[in-house]
């Protein structure tokens, strides 16, 4: 039996990592979920902290977080189809929350995200709670979820 390598999550530091992140988002959001590229890539790329997850040493998923006037927004969580159901999403959410906890400017701020319906149980494992009514973003159903650290 092949031994599974643990999932690693690293903060993006160099352009090559960011290119990989954008490639994952392209595959998951633009190709698989048919999100318009103009909606997927935005003016917040440069001010966000990006993360790259690897499984078996291969790129597997990504996420980012940034400060907003409403608190700290976690977004762009994407896991490649072939890597789903293996803990990559969990590792990403955990790494992003841990990174936010280390940032003194985040202390006392609300963490929030726009969760696709099938991802809500994952975020709930970390204490995120649904807030408000369902809405559509890029023709995909979402709920806002919030967490106070």
**Would you write out the chain's pLDDT as a tens digit for each of its 149 residues?**
455 568 999 999 999 999 999 999 999 999 999 999 999 999 999 999 999 999 999 999 999 999 999 999 999 999 999 999 999 999 999 999 999 999 999 999 999 999 999 999 999 999 999 999 999 999 999 999 999 87
All residues at 6 or more sequence positions from 97 whose CB lies less than 8 Å from its CB, including other chains: 74, 111, 126, 147, 149
State pTM to two decimals: 0.93
Neighbours of 80 (CB within 10 A): 19
- Residue 149 has a pLDDT of 76
Neighbours of 72 (CB within 10 A): 21
Do 95 and 9 meet the contact criterion of CB atoms below 8 Å apart?
yes
- Residue 6 has a pLDDT of 86
């Amino acid at each position: 039996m092949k031994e599974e390598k643990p999932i690693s999550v690293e903060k993006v530091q160099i352009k090559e990592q960011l290119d990989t992140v954008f490639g994952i988002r392209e595959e998951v959001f633009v190709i698989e979920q048919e999100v318009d590229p103009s909606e997927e890539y935005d003016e917040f790329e440069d001010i966000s902290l990006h993360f790259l997850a690897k499984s078996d040493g291969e790129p597997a998923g990504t996420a980012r977080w940034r400060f907003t006037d409403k608190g700290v927004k976690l977004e762009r969580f994407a896991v490649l189809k072939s890597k789903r159901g293996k803990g990559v999403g969990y590792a990403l959410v955990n790494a992003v929350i841990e990174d936010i906890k280390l940032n003194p400017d985040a202390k006392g701020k609300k963490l929030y995200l726009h969760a696709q319906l099938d991802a809500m149980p994952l975020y709930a494992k970390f204490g995120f709670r649904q807030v408000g009514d369902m809405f559509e973003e890029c023709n995909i159903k979402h709920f806002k979820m919030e967490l106070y650290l």
